Amino acid sequence: MPEWKEEIRKRLSRNNLAPAQEAEIVEELAQHLDDVFEQARRSGATEAEAKRAALQELAGDDLLHREIRRSQKPAGEAPVAGGSGKSNALADLLHDLRYAARLQRKNPGFTIVAVIALALGIGANTAIFSVVNTVLLRPLSYKDPERLVMVWEDATRHGYPRDTPAAANYIDWRDQNQVFEGMAAIADTSFNFTGAGDPERLEGRRVSANLFPLLGVEPQIGRVFTAAEDQPGAQRVVLLSYGLWQRRFGGDPGIVGKALTLNGESYTVVGVMPARFQFPSSDDEAWVPIAFTQQEAASRGRHYLEVLARLKPGVTLAQAQSEMTTIAARLQQQYPQNNADLGATVQPLQEHVVGDIRPALLILLGAVGLVLLIACANVANLLLARAAVRQKEIAVRVALGARRGRLIRQFLTESVLLSTLGGIVGLAIAYGGLILLKAFIPENISQAREISIDLKVLGFTFLISVLTGLIFGLAPAIQAARFNQIETLKEGGRDAATGGSGKRLRSLLVMAEVAISLVLLIGAGLLINSFLRLRNVDPGFRADNLLTMKVVLPEPKYEELERRSTFYTDVIRRVESVAGVRSAAVTTNLPLYRQGNSISIVIEGRPAPPPGQELIVVTRVISPGYFDTMSIPLLKGRPLTDQDTSTSPSVIVISETMARRFWPGEEAIGKRIAPGRVRSPEDWIQVVGVVKDVRQFELNADPRPQMYLSYRQADFFAPRDLVVKTDVDPASMAATVRKAVWEVDKDQPVSNIRTMEEILADSIARQRFSMLLLAIFAAVALVLAGVGIYGVMSYSVAQRTHEIGIRMALGAQTTAVLKLAVGYGLKLVIAGIVIGLVAAFALTRVMSTLLFGVTATDPTTFTLISLLLIAVAALASYIPARRATRVNPIIALRYE
Amino acid sequence: MPYKLSQMLDRELKKGSAELLILSLVEDQPRHGYDIGNLIEQRSRGRLRFNVASLYPLLYRLEKRGWILGRWVEKAGQRRRRYYRLTAEGKKVLAAQRHSWQEFVEAINRITGLEHA
């Protein structure tokens, strides 16, 4: 008889079996081959044929080796059933993944629905997180930005907790403090850039020479300012922004050292800042040294600076604040006239840059978190339903010895696979969503342009995807692992999850979905309500058919009042002669745009108010046609007229709030006031008229006292804005009106051409942004919740088809059956609404800063939203119930 | 049976049912590997066949799971052989597998209408 053992050993050599085990296998297999050989010989084969037949049993060189290796693996073919105790985590995971992938492919409908729900939730989270990441989390692009702070005057008594400091105060702070490495002042300015093509208005800043070293930024080419250049009377120098350098000089590398004309004066270019540099605003295109004049440096009455400082290493914000409070208190003692009640407050630069979008963003982040929870609940419900269908599979596995932990792991692998798919699709949704988002994000969020999906965002998406999978997978997994095996086998595969805990769990999930979407809907409802009220606020003027533009006169050229007046008079006359223009006017500041000027006044016959209780009045210098052009109604007296000139007595028109507050119960007309202090009898100005309030700063703030002076009489502020009432679409008039201005002075820049309606819309852009996003998320939540309720009701009705069939066969009316099914759904929904109302009552309080005109617990919103949700839920329960009643009782009865 | 179908059955069904077949064959009495292989071939009238390279590893795997137990037995006048018998756990598994196999076959039959053919 041939010897087989060598052949067998050769094949087993790579298996590295224990010698004893190998010997046994070789013996057993050799015997088998002997038997085959003998059998073949007995049936008449030659020795060679019989040997070949026996060797064929070994089937090539590799099969035995592979099969033996597989048989040695602990988990082997049936991973979940593997009850040997030992297990290989990685192999299990791979196997579970393969199994899960197969399962998803087998149920494409289920997979698609689940992935879409998850993708919506994860996508919304990714999009909002990338905004939060860029705006709130990413450090500013300066050196050690966490040590940079803004220092403000604290003028809370006047309603300005963070007021722009006066120069003399800034200088005292700078010289007396021990906590800052350095302090720099910044002042708003703008330049008329002429002598090279079209005249242009440039936004810019006067800055301390040490601002750039303090920020830790270097110029792209050239140098920054020297301390010597930051002195009055020094040679005029300018730093250009990268954008201006490219736009107007074609990126000329030889620009440094060249001269350009700003405000009619010659400035030497010393450098160009890098493209990414912006401080404080991305609008700035040129910087010049601040070089305080002596008069400026002594002023404590004009508050117009922004002050940046860098904390010394190791100094905390609190230490800096306490030092500044001490210095401010000293200045109060020293200068009671100006500094009474004036504190100083230190604010991290990051907080200043981010501004008041922070609460809105955090609320949105919370909202998308809730949307994701609803998506989780939906998918958990789907999985529960599927787990019910898979009871038999689980029963067999448990029968074959699968342990509970192993089963749970298998289920979790499946859910995490689902959520990861959802995450991938969600990323795509987030990418598209961000493009939309950027279109809506308010322009005054300076980092808005930089919002993108970076590694941190990707990490976040991955993390929430996995977490999501664990959250929504856990309930079905535990549920599946806990069910009663004997019961299931006995029932011959009847769904164990239809009764008892499975049903309870699904009901709970529906309640949770309803509760969460109620919270979101109420939040969105409150914001929509606020926004509508905000839009309906009467701004005090009519914004339609108004075109506005900035026409800022360069001071050297138009220093005297007379020259300015002539220019404006000419411009107004010229513009009003253009076809399609009804009227034109100028003003120092348009409403709802930039803050503008306020001054303190004294009233004739009353003692000057004590320091800290000055009468502050928003002051606008206008041309007489302003009230007509803006449609601001005159309530009493007369408007300003062309007869109010520099030679006639000074007059003002005041707002109703000013009249009411300063002369309560008295006639304001005829009273006299003076700006600042009275030095001579000519300083008194008489009130001749009262007009309706205008919301100068924000739509959602109460109007403050305001007064209007004629541009022919007021020397201290020069008008900057031209406003034109048109008969046609105002935007279409822009070019013609600008040409009319140039006909008066061809070197006069015209900038910021916008319609008043745009300005009005921009002033509530932040509110629109929050409202729109929250509304979108709430709508997604409502749809998800509706689908969730529909799914659960469909399932529960399908489970009860038999019962419904019996009822119908026994003569139950369709309506009675409908009532039964819809009633069950509504019971769940109402329970959810009660929970949601309690949660909303607690949660919407965090929104109160975003609300206007409604309280965070507005009963109308709460009621309407609850009713809306009940209606959606009723519909979602009605459709499947209706379907059930249409079933033929005979079929229903047979349906098992 | 056409060649192609037989190949397919061989491959797919064998994979799914081999465990069940082996468990069933050792249910009543202990058997050695050659015996099991022969019985499968005979009772399936030659349609199912396991070669040594797949049969024994399968036996080892079932043994490793504790569903069958192999033991060397020497009978008078014969060489010693390894006999496999069903364990208590194997009995449970066999019941469950039989049940689900029956259901599977019934389901297939119901769909394909084979029982009326």
Q: SS in 3 state form for A265-278?
A: EEEEEEEECCCCCC
pLDDT of residue B17: 78
* Among B84, B37, B87, B51, CA closest to B67: B87
Minimal CA separation from B95 to chain A, in Å? 10
Residue A152 has pLDDT above 80, yes or no: yes
A41-45, A293-297, A386-390, range with the lowest pLDDT: A386-390
pLDDT tens per residue across span A678-700: 677 778 899 999 999 998 887 87
Tokens 């008194």 belong to residue: A684
B9 confidence band (pLDDT: 50, 70, 90): low
From chain B, the residues in CB contact with A71 under 8 A are: 57-58, 60-61, 64
Instruction: Please answer yes or no on whether A32 and B52 come within 8 Å at the CB atom.
Output: yes
Q: B64: which chain A residues are within 8 Å (Cβ-Cβ)? A: 71-72, 74, 76, 84
Q: Which residues of B touch A83 (CB under 8 A)?
A: 65-66
Chain A residue with CA closest to B49: the answer is A57
Give the three-class secondary structure for A740.
helix
Rg (CA), chain B: 16
Measured between beta carbons, the chain A residues lying within 8 angstroms of B22 are: none
Domain ranges of chain A: 5-72, 553-748
Closest chain B residue to A21 measured between Cα atoms?
B60
The partner residue sitting opposite B53, judged by closest CB among A64, A84, A399, is A64
User: What backbone phi and psi angles, to 5 degrees, belong to A309?
Assistant: -145, 155
What pLDDT was estimated at residue A79?
Answer: 38
Per the CB < 8 A criterion, the answer to whether A307 and A170 are in contact is: yes
Residue in chain A lying closest to B73 (CA): A28
HEC profile of A830-891: HHHHHHHHHHHHHHHHHHHHHCCCCCCCCHHHHHHHHHHHHHHHHHHHHHHHHHHHCCCHHH
- Assigned fold of B3-116: Arc Repressor Mutant, subunit A (1.10.10)
Among B60, B64, B96, select the one facing A396 at the smallest CB separation.
B96
> Distance from CA of residue A428 to its chain's centroid?
18
CA dist A450 and A479 (Å) reads 46
- What pLDDT sits at residue B16? 63
Q: ipTM score here?
A: 0.84
Among B16, B56, B4, smallest CA distance to A70 is for B56
A172-182 confidence digits (pLDDT tens):
999 999 999 99
Chosen from A8, A55, A67, A403 to mutate, greatest number of chain B CBs within 10 A: A67
- Asked if A396's CB is within 8 angstroms of B53's CB, the reply is no
User: What secondary structure letter does DSSP report for B73?
Assistant: E
Q: Which residues of A touch B54 (CB under 8 A)?
A: 59, 63, 67
Can you read off the two tokens belonging to residue A220?
């792209």
- Chain-chain contact of B96 with A400 (C-beta, under 8 angstroms): yes
Interface with B, mutate which of A26, A71, A87, A489 (most B CBs under 10 A): A71
* Residue whose token pair is 């040590």: A147
Instruction: Give the pLDDT of residue A727.
Output: 92
Q: Cα A689 to chain center, whole Å?
A: 45
Sheet with B68-73: strands ordered across: B31-32, B81-86, B68-73
Predicted confidence (pLDDT) at residue A98 exceeds the cutoff of 50: yes
Nearest-CB residue to B61 (from A25, A71, A83): A71
> What is residue A393's predicted lDDT score, i.e. its pLDDT?
73
**All structural domains of chain B with their residue ranges:** 3-116
Are A84 and B64 within 8 A, CB to CB?
yes
Q: Is the pLDDT of residue A125 over 50?
A: yes
pLDDT of residue A80: 39
